Amino acid sequence: MRQEADHRVPVLIVGGSLVGLSTSLFLGRLRVPHMLVERHSGTSIHPRGRGNNVRTMELYRVAGIEGAIKTAASLLADNHGILQTPTLVGDAGEWLFKHIDPGGGLARFSPTGWCLCSQNDLEPVLLESARTLGGDLRYSHELESFEQDGEAVTAVVRDRATDERYTVRADYLVAADGPRSPVRRALGIGQTGPGDLFANVSVTFRSKLLADVVGERRFICCYLTHPDADGALLPVDNKEHWVFHAPWHPEQGETLDEFTEERLQRHIRRAIGVPDLDVEITGKASWRAAERVADRYCSGRVLLAGDSAHEMSPTGAFGSNTGIQDAHNLAWKLAAVLDGWAGPGLLDTYDTERRPVALATSARASARSVEHSHPGFAPAPGVGGGKRGGILNVVLGYRYPHGAVIGAAPGQEVVPEGMRLTGEPGSRAPHMWLRRDGERVSTLDLYERSLVLLSDARSAAGWHAAAQRIAEDTGVRLASYRIGGDAGADLVYDARGAESEEAPDWARTHGTTADGAVLVRPDGFVAWRTAGAVPDPEGVLREVLATLLRTA
């Protein structure tokens, strides 16, 4: 007979960094009780992982914390682009790119944009929001072991402050415990990919004179290419606090102890090109870049997310963003299964959808490191030779050819070459501006706590009424909105949202007709669409939902 656990929760999250905290935030928004345990005493204190891409910011926007993140990121709000130069003295060098959104074209696709917010500034925002939503977040608490059966996972957790141990019984365990994930290892899940790529020592330092050397060049990152002192310089406040990434070669026997304060000071001065620059070292941390993806994301009731599931080269900031988007994909599926309006088989689609995205994205990240000649990266043959080019299609245009979608083209690439956000099943639903009760909203603002059916206010096809009956009868979280320009619409067009002289038309934007309908998942991805009216809309919609939610 199993002994009663000390705590009982629907979800136990292991790991309290960006991905674990984001999982807690998204579950809290969906009102799923959970506990998070993190072995460290608090959030990150080292500036790193600063690039939050447009898709991640869309998720944080819907979660209600976009404004708080922008406030936390205000010191770097005017920094753009990546500079590559032999030294910072003079005007040598070139911009690999000067603006991430030149011409403001991103507004066609999204209500938000990229945000430069370092992990040490972002994590406290996530922590406060997650706790406000009721998350039980426990720092200095470490998972020691776990076992699972057909009904739940039983974990043993140690309070590192008191050395006391307690047991937690959870329906599901989410492992966001980093690249060396003890949970993944305990499950015996292997990894695929080239492995270690390169290593750096990240140094925080203070210099009051460096701002004068940098001048008006407000970069996100500057690759310094001095042959004897290459590295990457990143501003923290554009004034006197900076980060420098120095190449480290453990494969050649080089140890961290060799990176003394004196050596680092000499390296930074030579790289920047100012021999007498004031450099006060305030901290250092080592890190290794790698390209690896777990062979599977799920094992019974345990699911991997973030670095425990995939590692990527840092160029392009793909890794943390991919992990945050893992969390978002997983959160609505956990909520649906735990609330009983989806079958447990829905969770199998987490691996089906997210693992191919990680494989494609990690290859793009390595290719971008080669393209940018990241300091310390000397790729082995065959590594980083994948497709190059822009990144918007990677961060926003990726799609799910298989999974909790119906009607997706099965042979399509996970990361397409161009941007096609036109309502195809498996792609992120299109953005367009509408008005709801006089308030200007993006269509993306509608997607979080339920499935959403979009139909035309002028149509007699019966989709809206069918959706309402199904929601009442079955308990499936399904909202329905009629879109149009008249009084019968739940959502009306916003003239300011039109990106051309062409009148706004939700059906055309979503690749259907006025008699069609589009079903969007809580994570904003199109689950299914139909081009026109059908004889039995309620019957069709019931069948679609049963297939989608694995309740058939």
Q: Let me know whether 162 and 308 are in one domain.
A: yes
- Residue 315's pLDDT is what? 75
Q: How far apart are CA 262 and CA 56, in angstroms?
A: 39
Q: Let me know whether 383 and 437 are in one domain.
A: no
Which among 366, 395, 424 is the end of a domain? 395
Q: Let me know whether 374 and 488 are in one domain.
A: no
Q: Where in 323-466 does DSSP place strands (E)?
A: 433-436, 439-442, 451-456
Which among 370, 395, 420 is the end of a domain? 395
- Whether 464 maps to a domain, the answer reads yes
The helix/strand/coil state of 456 is: strand
CATH code: domain of residue 502:
3.40.30.120
Q: Let me know whether 391 and 437 are in one domain.
A: no
Burial grade of 239 (CB within 10 A; 0-12, 13-18, 19 or more): middle
Please provide the distance, in angstroms rounded to a whole number, between the alpha carbons at the two ends of the chain: 34
Q: Let me know whether 373 and 438 are in one domain.
A: no
The answer to whether the CB of 399 falls within 8 A of the CB of 427 is yes
Q: How far apart are CA 116 and CA 78, in angstroms?
A: 9
Q: Let me know whether 368 and 486 are in one domain.
A: no
Q: How far apart are CA 89 and CA 233, in angstroms?
A: 14
Q: Let me know whether 391 and 535 are in one domain.
A: no
Q: How far apart are CA 253 and CA 39, in angstroms?
A: 30
The answer to whether the CB of 297 falls within 8 A of the CB of 303 is yes
- Whether 144 maps to a domain, the answer reads yes
Range of the domain at 182: 7-73+111-187+293-395
pLDDT tens sequence for the chain (552 residues): 356 899 999 999 999 999 999 999 999 999 999 999 999 999 988 777 778 999 999 999 999 999 999 999 998 889 988 899 999 998 888 998 888 777 788 899 999 999 999 898 999 999 999 999 999 999 999 999 999 999 999 999 999 999 999 999 999 999 999 999 999 999 999 999 999 888 999 999 999 999 999 999 999 999 999 988 999 999 999 999 999 999 999 988 999 999 999 999 999 999 999 999 999 999 998 888 899 999 999 999 999 999 999 999 887 778 899 999 999 999 999 999 999 999 999 999 999 999 999 999 999 888 877 766 666 666 665 555 556 557 889 999 999 999 999 999 888 899 998 888 999 999 999 999 999 998 999 999 999 999 999 999 999 899 999 999 999 999 999 999 999 977 789 999 987 654 455 678 999 999 999 999 999 999 999 999 999 999 999 999 999 999 999 997
Q: Let me know whether 326 and 457 are in one domain.
A: no
Q: Where in 354-486 does DSSP place strands (E)?
A: 433-436, 439-442, 451-456, 478-484
Closest CA to 48 of 201, 172, 171, 259: 201
- Residue 292's pLDDT is what? 96
Q: Where in 428-513 does DSSP place strands (E)?
A: 433-436, 439-442, 451-456, 478-484, 491-493
- Whether 228 maps to a domain, the answer reads no
- Residue 498's pLDDT is what? 47
Which among 343, 372, 395 is the end of a domain? 395
Q: How far apart are CA 468 and CA 450, in angstroms?
A: 13
- Residue 56's pLDDT is what? 97
For 158, phi and psi rounded to 5 degrees?
-110, 130
Q: How far apart are CA 365 and CA 505, in angstroms?
A: 36
- Residue 176's pLDDT is what? 98
Helix/strand/coil (H, E, C) string of 281-315?
A: EEEEEEEEEEEEEECCCEECCEEECHHHCEECCCC
Q: Domain tally for the chain?
A: 2
- Residue 105's pLDDT is what? 85
Q: How far apart are CA 32 and CA 174, in angstroms?
A: 13
